[in-house]
Amino acid sequence: MTVTLDRNVEQFIGAPRQLFINGQWADAASGKTFATPNPATGETLANIAEGDAEDIDRAVRAARRAFEEGPWSRMTPSERGRIIWRIGDLILEHTDELAQLESLDNGKPFAVAQAADGPLAADLFHYMAGWATKIEGNTINISVPYMPGANFHSYTLREPVGVVGQIIPWNFPLLMAAWKLGPALTTGNTVILKPAEQTPLTAIRLAGLIAEAGVPEGVVNVVTGFGETAGASLAAHPMVDKIAFTGSTEVGRLIVHAAAGNLKKVSLELGGKSPNIVFDDADLDRASVGAIAGIFAAGGQTCIAGSRLLVQQGVYQRMVELVAGRARQIRLGDPRLPATQMGPVANRPQYDRIREMIAGALDAGARRVAGEGQGGSVPESGLFVPPTVFADVDNGSALAREEIFGPVLSIIPFRDTEHAVRIANDSEYGLASGVWTNDLTRAHTVARKLVAGTVWVNTYRAAAAQAPFGGTRRSGYGRERGEEALREYLRTKNVMIDLSGRTPDPFAIRT
């Protein structure tokens, strides 16, 4: 039994998908299109408009007009908040449709997209809608040493940055769009969203829902296309005031260089090689489930993946057995099948990279304890990689150093707390981490010492609209979600008013 496609989904993928610029659907200026394939079968889902520099320029100019001349940034916060809340409502109303598009385009199981991606995206918009009326400045008591007797009233205004370019990845297309759009819209900015070329469908559908919610023309523009053309043009465009990017560290560096032309504001959420640490006093059943969720949820195609499982020596062998045994039971298959627990890798280049990393590890003598079989109903043409576990991994090896971005887990032994923290922080990344222990003092102590933007204790992958998310080191800078995400899309203006009624002459001659 498979999930029957919604009629709207059939119609959506049955017609060429256009760009969304200034509230209108339009072909790319070049007339070019590209195919987006189903990673489970290899079949083409839809033909997508291939936007390039000319289309980006059209979208940027539309966003600039909407920001400077349109009603969006001048709406009352209550009005803007109601529209943003409506976007969340529409996502919930269309959850099944969006989940099917996400599953077809990305390869994740339909049940996962239905239960998690849609509701989380809606929750983000609902959360941000509440902030629209709570963006406030401060009054400041000041004194100016060289202006004795002056009486100042000083206050700050929190204003939108302006025109924002947002580039999102292929692993969570709908959710990443929500994380980017929610705070940008709440703070009164206008946006050009460039979805990943591998997974453009839900971003295109979301554009229609955003228009239906009442967002004015030009406020949200969606330009599909390739990173080397559309993405690069957006990052470098002189009329863009900020770039928000989620993706690889390598591309993040290119974004920073491209943005330097007009010194636009940049926030980056990049890669990770996250440690998931299990101490010998932990509940091993819980910890093993957390380890499985940390690496194999979303097929390991997530920057927060707990791809390095650090286990204390006293419980090491038992954890290896628990994790490897559970990994062998995960059912791969067509993501439309209710029994499927893991779908295919989202695209061919990523599939090839994962396979190469596994082969290289085996050639180097790594001990694989799970991952030789596939199981489930797996289409022969699909991009399927079985959940793979390596034990006794050295933290200096490629398996432990490089972000694989797939269902590949490295298990690393450690001696004591100091040793665990040293291994965990011995990485160029600093995005997420996990700690499994029943010792409250140890939990807090290790959480403080880990170099990571997020530390989970006795859980992994928990996400909430209210909780800030982001990294350090090669994992980037800036924050998504929570109040801190709003700061990425605001600038502060200071207003100083002299109430003394006189202006001292700085050139007055004193005798």
Catalytic residues: 269, 303
Query: Are 274 and 433 in contact, with CB atoms under 8 Å apart?
Result: yes
The amino acid at residue 120 is L
Angle at 143 (CA atoms; ends 138, 145), nearest 5 degrees: 150
- Alpha carbons 372 and 332: distance in angstroms, whole number: 13
Q: What is the DSSP string of 69-122?
A: HSSGGGS-HHHHHHHHHHHHHHHHHTHHHHHHHHHHHH---HHHIIIIIHHHHH
Nearest one of 274, 273, 302, 284 to 436, comparing CA atoms: 284
Residues in the chain: 511
CA distances from 223 to 59, 72, 195, 207, 226 (A): 8, 20, 7, 10, 10
Write the DSSP symbol of residue 245. Answer: E
Single out the residue of 301, 300, 319 nearest to residue 310, CA to CA: 319
- Rounded CA-CA distance 74/168 in Å is 27
* Residue of 281, 370, 359 whose CA lies nearest to 320: 370
Other beta carbons within 10 Å of 443: 17
CA distance 246 to 301: 13
With residue 135 as reference, give the H or E element that holds it: none
Residues 176, 268: Cα–Cα separation, whole Å: 13
Residue pair 408/358 in contact (Cβ under 8 Å)? The answer is yes
